Structure 1
Amino acid sequence: MAEHQSALLLRKQLTELNKNPVEGFSAGLIDDNDIYKWEVLIIGPPDTLYEGGFFKAHLFFPKDYPLKPPKMKFITDIWHPNIEKNGDVCISILHDPGDDKYGYEKASERWLPVHTVETIMISVISMLADPNDESPANVDAAKDFRENYKIFKRKVASCVRKSQEEV
């Protein structure tokens, strides 16, 4: 029953995004027969180092969505403190609900069932604009961001160029 409910909810969200697109990203299914696997295209936010880039990512929803968050993975190379080198996104709202066992995040910052694909994408776009180098998923990117911003900018610019060629 929960699987049926999550599929209905995801179809509703996809229909809504197609009817009323949100600036900054587009979303669709990787495979029309699997509502649990989405592909999103994020347009690099204006006035950021990522501006002009086209970054493809996948969202994998669990069958018990919205009780549990999806996983998100960038397919396009991207250099960012909060995105692991393999593309996995590390952002508070995609962490399982409840208290953080390390005490770093408040429960209110973590996954809540009220989140939608739209709120996830807005958070990820915001993360691109404002990296959190205090809790990095990519320590090397965080180190560049903090200690050698010129190199950080160069690596991001390279990712933006590469993303434009891949579109």
Structure 2
Amino acid sequence: MVSKCILKELKSIEDASRCYSATIVNDDIFHWEASIIGPDDSPYEGRVYRLDIRIPSNFPIKKILLAIISLLTDANSDDPYNARAALYYREDRQKFDEIARSWTKKYSM
């Protein structure tokens, strides 16, 4: 039953958007490779981000990809992993975007 649900989720992701895609790795439905194109009008615009996703047998897949996409569009500066980036995001958005674009060119595809 779980595998049927996972395959259904994969199909819906494949049909839903040209901004992201996902494929199964080595016939293991709990291991995916995904790609997300950076959102328009963001420092991540036009770049491709590759993800290696390991799916727990009880986790809804859409939530995984939606969470990653929302990180690219709606940064949560109230609970940051990088405190300096959060400070720039809140207080100097131009500086934040400049650094994000620089890192995007360096670390994305």
The TM-score bracket by the shorter chain reads 0.7 to 0.9
2:18 alignment counterpart: 23
In structure 2, how many angstroms separate the alpha carbons of the residues matched to 1:36 and 1:25?
Answer: 18
Structure 1 residues 113-124: aligned runs within 5 Å? 116-117=61-62, 119-124=63-68
Q: Greater share of helix residues, 1 or 2? A: 2
Contact between 1:17 and 1:27, CA under 8 Å: does it hold in 2?
A: yes
Unpaired runs of 5+ residues, structure 2, are none
2:44 alignment counterpart: 50
The alpha-carbon deviation at position 163 of structure 1 amounts to 4.7
1:84 alignment counterpart: none
In structure 1, how many angstroms separate the alpha carbons of the residues matched to 2:33 and 2:80?
Answer: 24
1:88 alignment counterpart: none
Unpaired runs of 5+ residues, structure 1, are 67-115
Structure 1 residue identity aligned to 2:79: S
Q: Greater share of strand residues, 1 or 2? A: 2
- Percent identity reads 30
Q: Normalised by the size of structure 1, how large is the TM-score?
A: 0.55
Contact between 1:54 and 1:160, CA under 8 Å: does it hold in 2?
A: no
Matched pairs, number: 109
For residues 39-93 of structure 1, give each alpha carbon's deviation from its aligned partner in whole angstroms, at most 9, with x where no partner exists.
1111010111211111111222112334xxxxxxxxxxxxxxxxxxxxxxxxxxx
2:54 alignment counterpart: 60
Structure 2 residue identity aligned to 1:28: T
Alignment of 1:141 onto 2:82:
no
